[in-house]
A = this chain, B = another copy of it.
Amino acid sequence: MRYQLYYWTGIQGRGEFVRLALEDAGADYDDVAREQGDAVMMPFLDGKQPGAHPFAPPFLRAGRQVIAQAANILAFLAPRHGLVSASAASQCYALQLQLTIADMVAEVHDTHHPLSGDLYYEQQRPEARKRAAAFREHRIPKFLGYFERILEDGDGRHSLGRRHSYVDLSLFQLMAGLDYAFPRAMQGLRRRTPRLHALVERVAARPRIAAYLASPRRLPFNEDGIFRHYPELDRD
């Protein structure tokens, strides 16, 4: 089946978690808004297309089905492409981990938009400095400590059992984004997150992921996305 992925052009954003799974699986897909512009998503967001009505991108069209929410899309795709084991308990644990990644991603967004997504960063800079400081000091160590422990309690290399999964792809993206946004804070945590850093290297070396990362389809991180590098929000 050929999929149609819909996500805002110009940023990696939450769409990137889905894109990495599609690329790693070697799935056929159209990145529709990148080809046709963001306006192509509006009939879906206005509820004027058949299938499930998405609140926001990313959403995926799979035949007649429309599926939104990144973690939900991944839970749909993964068993079809070998990115999670066939066991229901394992799929349940995968979704739990993915939703915890999603919680952290939402917190990353709010480091630069603590007051409102309807205001510019420049309109909430003092508040962003405070929120980013709390995020760096309390939340990054807590979340990454948890994920490091998940790897440690498995085989040391994979988040789920002894096999690669979409959760590993998302952990790769999470770490890449955090390294971009908070390089100094992440450097300070490096010795406490050896397994996560080894996972990043392992995922980046997977042939299809390596090809994708080297392609123009992989947009660079930038200051319109979720992971933004504002030096004043990183550690001194």
A: residues with CB less than 8 A from B are 47, 52-55, 65, 67-69, 71-72, 75-76, 89, 92-93, 95-96, 99-100, 103, 106, 110, 114-119, 127, 130-131, 134-135, 138, 143, 146, 149-150, 153
CA distance A69 to B54 in the complex (A): 21
7 further interface pairs, Cβ-Cβ under 8 Å (given A55-B143, A72-B95, A115-B134) = A52-B92, A53-B146, A72-B92, A76-B92, A106-B106, A115-B130, A119-B134
Q: State which of B52, B55, B89, B127 has its C-beta within 8 Å of the C-beta of A127.
A: B127
Q: State which of B55, B96, B127, B130 has its C-beta within 8 Å of the C-beta of A68.
A: B96
Task: Point out the residues of chain B lying under 8 angstroms from A89, CB to CB.
Answer: 65
Task: Point out the residues of chain B lying under 8 angstroms from A92, CB to CB.
Answer: 52, 65, 67, 72, 75-76
Min C-beta distance of A85 to chain B, whole Å: 14
Task: Point out the residues of chain B lying under 8 angstroms from A138, CB to CB.
Answer: 116-118
Lowest 5 CB-CB distances: which A-B pairs, in order? A116-B134, A69-B99, A52-B93, A55-B100, A69-B96
How often does this chain occur in the complex, in copies? Answer: 2
CA distance A67 to B94 in the complex (A): 10
Q: Are A116 and B131 in contact (CB under 8 A)?
A: yes
Task: Point out the residues of chain B lying under 8 angstroms from A146, CB to CB.
Answer: 53, 55
Q: State which of B68, B100, B118, B149 has its C-beta within 8 Å of the C-beta of A69.
A: B100
Min C-beta distance of A195 to chain B, whole Å: 14
CA distance A153 to B67 in the complex (A): 17
Q: Are B131 and A115 in contact (CB under 8 A)?
A: yes
Task: Point out the residues of chain B lying under 8 angstroms from A135, CB to CB.
Answer: 116
